[in-house]
């Protein structure tokens, strides 16, 4: 996949980096990424990936913009209230970078449609706000052999991890939350700038992975404490009895 003169100029500050170069930039162009949730995390992930020149983006979100979203979702403005988040986010991408092929899906992703929506992508980034969605997405990614960046922010705590085959996200959280929306932002609150921090970290992880920068991050969970302003990383052990990936190793 080659880069036009205009793309070479647009991505010049990437291409000059020895760790990225033209090869890494072409890998980004060849990638198709599904972003689940155009919320607080998606508002950081989507502009970062579009600006970086990821060639294909699918944005999946069933919600419309509400006033209480705007403190953490700078993809949208006051005039967007009541409009589809997926479609407005896709409009943002098109305005930012016309070299990105963007597909907006105003769908709620769940067990019944996750494989159909996610098939054909090279990476999935999940910034949704509840365990039931995150587990359905994780199970589909395991079944389709697609790497998953799972990112979450609630109150003053953030977490980002890359999951590939085993361990999967279900190894980390177990089976208890399949039907439970217990951690959503509406009930517990979230600091807006924390969602942006976590989203930017998730985008960085994705861009590094696709362009081939740095060591493999699969199986590591990065935790951020927004009160103490500290990141730490833990390694997630595979669960041999995990019903999603348990037989995969």
| Sign of the alpha-carbon torsion through 198, 164, 218, 90 | negative
C-alpha distances out from residue 47 to 44, 53, 184, Å: 6, 10, 23
List all residues 6 or more positions away from 106 whose beta carbon is below 8 Å from its beta carbon: 61, 62, 84, 85, 86, 87
CB of 56 to Zn ion, least distance (A): 27
CB of 241 to Zn ion, least distance (A): 9
Choice between 44 and 171, CB closer to Zn ion: 171
Choice between 214 and 237, CB closer to Zn ion: 237
The DSSP symbol for 106 reads: -
- Cis upstream peptide for 7 (omega within 30°): no
Assign 9 to helix, strand or coil. Answer: helix
Q: Which positions lie near Zn ion, rule CB under 5 A?
A: 168, 170-171, 242, 244-245
Choice between 61 and 239, CB closer to Zn ion: 239
Choice between 100 and 242, CB closer to Zn ion: 242
CB of 2 to Zn ion, least distance (A): 39
CB of 114 to Zn ion, least distance (A): 16
| Chain residue whose CB lies nearest Zn ion | 242
CB 182 within 8 A of CB 156: no
């Amino acid at each position: 996949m080659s880069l036009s003169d205009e793309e070479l100029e647009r991505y010049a500050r990437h291409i000059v980096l020895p760790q990225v170069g033209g090869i890494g930039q072409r890998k980004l162009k060849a990638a198709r990424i599904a972003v689940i949730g155009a919320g607080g995390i998606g508002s950081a992930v989507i502009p970062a990936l579009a600006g970086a020149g990821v060639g294909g983006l699918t944005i999946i979100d069933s919600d419309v913009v509400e006033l209480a979203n705007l403190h953490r979702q700078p993809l949208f403005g006051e005039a967007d209230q009541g409009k589809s988040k997926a479609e407005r986010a896709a409009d943002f991408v098109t305005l930012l970078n016309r070299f990105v092929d963007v597909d907006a899906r105003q769908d709620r992703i769940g067990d019944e449609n996750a494989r159909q929506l996610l098939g054909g992508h090279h990476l999935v980034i999940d910034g949704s706000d509840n365990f039931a969605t995150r587990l359905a997405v994780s199970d589909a990614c395991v079944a389709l052999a697609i790497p998953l960046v799972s990112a979450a922010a609630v109150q003053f705590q953030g977490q980002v991890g890359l999951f590939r085959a085993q361990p999967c996200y279900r190894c980390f959280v177990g089976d208890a939350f399949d039907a439970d929306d217990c951690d959503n932002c509406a009930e517990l609150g979230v600091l807006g700038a924390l969602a942006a921090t976590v989203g930017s970290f998730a985008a960085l992880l994705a861009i590094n992975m696709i362009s081939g920068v740095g060591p493999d991050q699969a199986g590591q969970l990065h935790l951020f404490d927004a009160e103490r302003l500290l990141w730490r990383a833990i390694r997630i052990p595979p669960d041999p009895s995990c019903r999603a990936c348990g037989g995969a190793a």
